Chains A and B, each alone.
Chain A
Amino acid sequence: MASNEEILAGLAEIVNEETGLAPEAVELDKSFTDDLDIDSISMMTIVVNAEEKFGVRIPDEEVKNLKTVGDAVDYIAKAQA
């Protein structure tokens, strides 16, 4: 099981791979759409890669609730617990 810091680092790596954004730009309070300019399609790619990396399931209807990087980290941490 990964700590929140590890989840954040892993997520930053996935975001970097999908969008080219520097991993250090992926911070907990950043909004995926407003701050990181990630569209709904890229978001799905990130979600699927995160599912694989962290061994969790993030249903489509949950994705809409993951507004910030912190939301995603919390969701993955909870799903792993």
Chain B
Amino acid sequence: MTTPAMLQSPLREHSRILGLGAYRPDVIVTNDDVCQWIESSDEWIRQRTGIVTRHRAKADVSVIDMAEGAAREALKQAGIEASQLGAVIVSTVTHPYATPSAAAALADRLGATPAPAFDISAACAGYCYGIAQGDALVRSGTAEYVLVVGAEKLSDFIDNTERSMSFLLGDGAGAVVIGPSDIPGISPSVWGSDGSKWDVIGMSRSLLDVRSLSLDAEAAGSLAAVAGEFGDSEQKLWPTMRQDGPSVFRWAVWEMAKTAKRALEAAGLQPEDLAAFVPHQANMRIIDEMVKQLKLPESVVVARDIAEAGNTSAASIPLATHRLLQENPQLSGGLALQIGFGAGLVFGAQVIVLP
């Protein structure tokens, strides 16, 4: 059969980040606050994680609220109206509805309707996954401008008395607008997954577990009567974040250093070509060890937003980039290597021209 000729989207050669925005919620949680919930000390937490404070959102501030704050700043900096957006992507693992998406609500609030809108679940790699998709959409001609947001309210999914992870986590949102460019602005993304390590970071239980436990608790007349089956440390019904810290650390440093090197190679760059390195802000020791493994020269500015913001999952890279540019405006136009990695396990890395 003969195929009638049809049109496909005309390709674009280059894309880049045109604008960046951040939203940092206003509740500051100090290490001394954390020490009310777990037996530790300010010194221990600083030494082990590099974290001094983390920002957390109040009960009435949602993932969508934070995403909106960051998105408005990114649109303003890009000089783009929301109505020009060809897609809205929100990367989050803490929007508390499996459906509908945070992105659809965000698009509507911004005035981007009827732009396609969807959420992606790639945890701490979510922002780099979003950049990979935004870049592809713009260069394939599918969209002219794409909003990519990493937004997390991890404080809704932590157990303050739990020691593996909760004390590391903070809330926030970062957003960028990606659009057409005359020069290469986003290098080939090196991204992937390793589901064989599905259980090393993630929620303590599924929503189905929550449902059956709730029913059991109702029948038994108390939650305490049923929650014990999950062990003493998981007395609470609600799913919260957990990790096997040492395994994650090993993977994050040595495997991810290889991924970061591959991203540099894919970009055709040497470490000395970089102006900045913006790794996912998981733990200062991961950052320090990665810098060592990558043999980055002193001239490369390393983002260390974690000290003040904690680990904000999908929001951490854009938040850290935002601080980096506020503190070092001369880096604008320079090249930054960014790498996200986390629950899945998933990872993504690329070099971008800083807006």
Contacts and interface: CB of A to CB of B under 8 A. Distances in A.
A43 B247 CA distance: 11
Nearest to B47: A39
Interface string B220-262: 0000000000000000000000001111011001100000000
A44 B286 CA distance: 11
Interface in A23-78: 39-41, 43-45, 47-48, 60, 63
Contacts of A47: 250
Interface string B264-306: 0000000000000000000101000100000000000000000
A60 B250 contact: yes
The secondary-structure label for the interface of chain A is helix
Interface residues of B, number: 12
Contact of B289 (A39, A43, A45, A63): A45
B254 A41 contact: no
A63 B254 contact: no
A25 B84 CA distance: 65
A47 B289 CA distance: 14
Nearest to B44: A39
B246 A60 contact: yes
Interface string B28-58: 0000000000000000000010000000000
B247 A60 contact: yes
B48 to A, nearest CB: 6
A16 to B, nearest CB: 16
Nearest to A48: B254
Contacts of A44: 246, 249-250, 253
B353 to A, nearest CB: 33
A32 B285 CA distance: 19
Nearest to B251: A60
B250 A40 contact: no
A40 B248 CA distance: 11
A47 B250 CA distance: 9
10 contacts: A39-B48, A40-B246, A40-B249, A41-B246, A41-B285, A45-B253, A45-B289, A48-B250, A60-B244, A63-B246
Interface of A: 39-41, 43-45, 47-48, 60, 63
Interface of B: 48, 244-247, 249-250, 253-254, 283, 285, 289
Given A43-B246, A44-B250, A48-B250, 20 more contacts: A39-B48, A40-B245, A40-B246, A40-B249, A41-B245, A41-B246, A41-B283, A41-B285, A44-B246, A44-B249, A44-B253, A45-B253, A45-B289, A48-B253, A48-B254, A60-B244, A60-B246, A60-B247, A60-B250, A63-B246
